[in-house]
């Protein structure tokens, strides 16, 4: 018979117990590893949610109270999932945070795969019950808890606004905060071709994000052997959707160049771009294989765009183009592979 471990009293204790998580047994493989005798409702709430100052009614218990059941309900609940990233970071204050602010269509998928191979990761989709099933979430916590034993750093990645990292004080002095930019017009074409590619490759019974993008294009299935006219109709449907194109100013600021530049300066974030990315990647993360994930075949190219299309692209990227010109000017003066946000002053 295996010796029982001490009951967890803090979230870090709980996370470290996830090294024992077995998908075949589920969450019980973690819960049955410790002796719960003597734990109160307040103890369990404090261990999972960090709540030590709770209302008396919330901690009332009788002889029927079962700590394991309470742990199970809290860990599988949406409240823990919503709060877990912040709680986990508070549980590991000594770990440096490597924070990748992922602007869509800016080489982020390749870099995210690289980071997941090297570090314990907290990705934003892990904490979305509608995206990540609870069993997968628990398996991710197992990988995270094992990785934390051997790493001095924790990686945060996903499509999270720079302003949220700042407002929630996730980025601290000494942490490594960075992002990748791209020519704004290229982002638009890359986005359109990404959508077309997902829908073209969708299975006969689409699932997950395939369903979402097919609905976005207002089709049930991508045409087989599409004509050029059919491609242009679908490409323009994506292009002219209101607020469809993700902009750098949206993810790094408040949608305009002025607020974005102010955010970049205040955070002093490290900035590279697609042109400098391969050399910067090798400098920062040497000898890492290039994955080439999420690359799209371009069905809609600049040569196929009409004058009206190009005018619309210029309109929706106007603020991004102001930002990108400002950043390019700093690169030209520095001659380096990246700049810091403070260089934009």
pLDDT tens profile 98-150: 999 999 998 888 888 889 999 999 999 999 998 899 999 999 999 999 999 99
Q: How many domains in the chain?
A: 2
The answer on 156 and 40 residing in a single domain is: no
Q: Does residue 311 fall inside a structural domain?
A: yes
DSSP string spanning 23-73? TTTBTHHHHTTB--TT--HHHHHHHHH---S--HHHH---TT--HHHHHHH
**pLDDT tens readout for residues 190-228:** 999 999 999 999 888 888 789 999 999 999 999 999 999
157 belongs to a structural domain:
yes
pLDDT exceeds cutoff 80 at 178: yes
The first and second tokens of residue 247, run together, are 């902009």
- Indicate if 51 and 179 belong to the same structural domain: no
The answer to whether the CB of 53 falls within 8 A of the CB of 14 is no
* % of residues, the chain, pLDDT over 90: 73
Both 57 and 108 in a single domain? no
Q: Are residues 249 and 334 in the same domain?
A: yes
The span from the CA of 18 to the CA of 184, in Å, is 42
Structural domain containing residue 287 = 95-122+152-185+245-344
């Amino acid at each position: 018979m295996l010796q029982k471990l001490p009951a967890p009293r803090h979230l870090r204790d709980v996370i470290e117990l996830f090294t024992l998580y077995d998908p075949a047994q589920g969450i019980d493989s973690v819960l049955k590893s410790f002796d719960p005798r003597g734990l109160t409702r307040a103890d369990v709430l404090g261990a999972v949610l960090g709540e030590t100052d709770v209302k008396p009614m919330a901690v009332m218990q009788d002889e029927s109270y079962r700590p394991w059941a309470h742990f199970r309900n809290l860990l599988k609940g949406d409240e823990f999932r919503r709060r877990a990233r912040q709680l986990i970071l508070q549980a590991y204050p000594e770990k440096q945070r490597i924070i990748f602010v992922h602007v869509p269509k800016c080489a982020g998928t390749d870099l995210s795969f690289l980071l997941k191979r090297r570090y314990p990761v907290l990705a934003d989709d892990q904490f979305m019950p509608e995206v990540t099933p609870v069993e997968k979430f628990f398996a991710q916590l197992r990988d995270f808890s094992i990785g934390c034993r051997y790493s001095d750093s924790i990686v945060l990645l996903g499509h999270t606004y720079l302003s949220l990292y700042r407002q929630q004080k996730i980025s601290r002095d000494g942490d490594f905060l960075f992002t990748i930019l791209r020519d704004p017009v290229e982002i638009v074409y890359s986005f359109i071709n990404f959508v077309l590619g997902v829908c073209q490759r969708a299975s006969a019974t689409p699932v997950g994000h395939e369903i979402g993008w097919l609905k976005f294009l207002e089709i049930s299935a991508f045409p087989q052997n599409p004509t050029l006219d059919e491609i242009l109709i679908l490409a323009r449907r994506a292009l002219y959707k209101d607020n469809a194109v993700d902009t750098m100013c949206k993810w790094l600021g408040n949608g305009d160049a002025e607020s974005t530049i102010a955010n970049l300066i205040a955070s002093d974030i490290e900035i590279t771009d697609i042109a400098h990315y391969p050399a910067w990647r090798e400098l920062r993360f040497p000898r890492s294989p290039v994955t080439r994930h999420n690359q799209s075949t371009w069905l809609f190219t600049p040569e196929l765009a009409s004058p009206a299309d190009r005018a619309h692209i210029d309109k929706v990227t106007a603020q991004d183009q102001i930002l990108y010109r400002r950043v390019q000017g700093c690169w030209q003066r520095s001659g380096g592979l990246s700049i810091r946000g403070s260089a934009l002053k």
